Structure 1
Amino acid sequence: MNWQGVFPALTTKFTADDELDLAAFTANLDAQLDAGVDGIILGGSLGEASTLSNEEKDTLVKTTVEYVAGRVPVVLNIAEGATREAVRIAESATQLGVSGLMLLPPMRYNADKREVFTYFKAIATATDLPIMLYNNPIDYKIEVTLDLFEDLVDLPTIQAVKESTRDVSNVTRLRNRFGDRIKILCGVDTLAMEELVMGADGWVAGLVCAFPRETVAIYRLVKAGRYDEARAIYRWFLPLLELDIHPKLVQYIKLAETAAGIGTEHVRAPRLPLIGAERDRVLDIINSGLANRPALPQLEGTLEAA
């Protein structure tokens, strides 16, 4: 597993009748693969995983693994309240054909350090799949601290972190303490270029769902040291990236996907589609971005391999 590059946290597409829309899902997946993303993440909060049945999750995973056909790794997110259910999913993930796991701390319970360590260890020792921990104390109230990482680095399946503390300096803290032992992927769209410049290995992205080529371009340009070109795209992108740090990020990003021609607005209750002034405001941001979409530089040669 190569924890580097752009990993879209894909949205789940629904029909107007609240069924999985696999045709719309694979159309968006095509756009991601065509843009050159480096992996796919399923079952995150952006994917409305908490509203999906186990059967629906399995269908999405099997569909994605079959469709991707080994071109990029497919990563399954685990966000559970019970350790035994998280272990069950980890144990069954290999049979589903995924390449790795993204793992949140225990859900709906503010576990202490000993409990979080025991939870992570139970899952990490139940599978041979590589694991990326999701460190998002802002939204999920549990921080994977440096000391906790220190206790976890002896577990070989724990290999990476989705860094979402909102503290750019944490990239440097992780590097200073663990070197390259823990791969670092930025998990906050509005901090992505900053963290990549400071040495993050990748970007778990949200607005990539609507703007895959621009996201991949920023990543590859930064890694090639072409900072001025990356910065110009990033400045254009920022008003759109800010849609990722709102409680309604699912509705906002699905609206952006729809406007970009690679998605639908359908969400699953309790989420509801945007209406009225809120929808108009968000659509103005999206349409302004589309109207001023920058020409992308050539991504060939050494940049293609970055």
Structure 2
Amino acid sequence: MAITWKGVFPALTTKFTAADELDLTLFSRNLDAQLEAGVEGIILGGSLGEASVITTEEKATLVKHAVKQIAGRVPVVINIAEGATREALRQATLAEEWGASGLMLLPPMRYKSDARETVEYFRTIARSTSLPIMLYNNPVDYKTEITLDMFEELSAEKNIEAVKESTRDVTNVIRMQNRFGDRFKILCGVDTLTLEELVTGADGLVAGLVCAFPVETVKLYKLIKAGKIQEALPLYRWFMPLLELDIHPKLVQYIKLAETRAGIGSEYVRAPRLTLVGEERERILKVIDHAIATRP
């Protein structure tokens, strides 16, 4: 399936049972809510999906289950975040076998590759697969920046089509467009910059709080892209305390708690993560419950 790389792409959480197994029933309930809200693609196995602690077998189960449930309505993108090029290549091959529509690709994990190594890593994987690829540019969390010069080198790889823009520098959207025009589609990857990056020309967003609030996320996207900024601003102001849950090291626990309160998720996480307790849990619940009580 071709991917247009626009609209809202939820970075879905991975649902677990109390026994630490995949909860496909709850996963399906959340996926239905996303599709009904009008998302234009989904991403599995990302940071929010607890990529570092799910197995290859679990990824296969999630992708195949999603592909079957979605039945061609939107593309299914699987994240690749590996330390070795060899393993990333294996994951790319498996993704095609599982029926994924595309890949989201991070720089090498654990080892901080330099520019030459990072470009070669991306180029090698791109040339190994027919799947379209979105690069994930997040130097804040992953310490490797994909610079404009690196994108210049990678522009020759036709299936590298998009970037998840998470540099936290809104002006990078403008810089990308000034240099490359529409060669690369740009998806905002930081929830708290949704309006700013969409206004400056981003094509869509890879969102986190959409996992709990899909209707509001899609509505915000549509208002902004329609140029209805004055209508979008009250919704964005209401949303902001929730969106800030996406930029914390415990974003998984915070967003899973929000999903739970919204009725489309659970708090179960996989160790070494632990569910929230005490003052921290009460503080995050206060933010979530206030938003639910005052939702537009």
TM-score of the two chains, using structure 2 as the length reference: 0.99
Distance in 1, matches of 2:94 and 2:50, equals: 21
Partner of 1:123: 125
Alpha-carbon shift at residue 95 of structure 1 (Å): 1.5
Alpha-carbon shift at residue 183 of structure 1 (Å): 0.3
Deviations 1:140-183 (A, max 9, x none): 00000000000000100100000000000000000000000000
Return the letter of the residue paired with 2:60: D
Counterparts in 2 of 1:110-189, with a 5 A limit?
110-189=112-191
SS at match of 2:4: coil
Give 2:215's match in structure 1, choosing from 198, 201, 213: 213
SS at match of 2:135: strand
Counterparts in 2 of 1:1-306, with a 5 A limit?
1-294=3-296
Distance in 1, matches of 2:271 and 2:146, equals: 31
Distance in 1, matches of 2:83 and 2:49, equals: 18
Distance in 2, matches of 1:64 and 1:82, equals: 27
Return the letter of the residue paired with 2:206: V
Identity %: 70
Distance in 1, matches of 2:38 and 2:230, equals: 21
Deviations 1:10-31 (A, max 9, x none): 0000000101000000000010
Return the letter of the residue paired with 1:44: G
Distance in 1, matches of 2:13 and 2:181, equals: 33
Q: How many aligned positions are there? A: 294
SS at match of 1:160: strand
Deviations 1:217-236 (A, max 9, x none): 01111111111111110110
Alpha-carbon shift at residue 92 of structure 1 (Å): 2.1
Distance in 1, matches of 2:95 and 2:255, equals: 27
Distance in 1, matches of 2:168 and 2:85, equals: 27
SS at match of 2:128: coil
Distance in 2, matches of 1:229 and 1:41, equals: 28
Alpha-carbon shift at residue 89 of structure 1 (Å): 1.1
Gaps of 5+ in 1: 295-306
Distance in 2, matches of 1:228 and 1:281, equals: 30
Alpha-carbon shift at residue 32 of structure 1 (Å): 0.3
Return the letter of the residue paired with 2:165: E
SS at match of 1:125: helix
Alpha-carbon shift at residue 7 of structure 1 (Å): 0.1
Partner of 1:301: none
Please report the RMSD computed on the Cα atoms of aligned residues, expressed in angstroms.
0.5
Return the letter of the residue paired with 2:94: S
Partner of 1:300: none
Distance in 1, matches of 2:247 and 2:216, equals: 19
Distance in 2, matches of 1:273 and 1:95, equals: 34
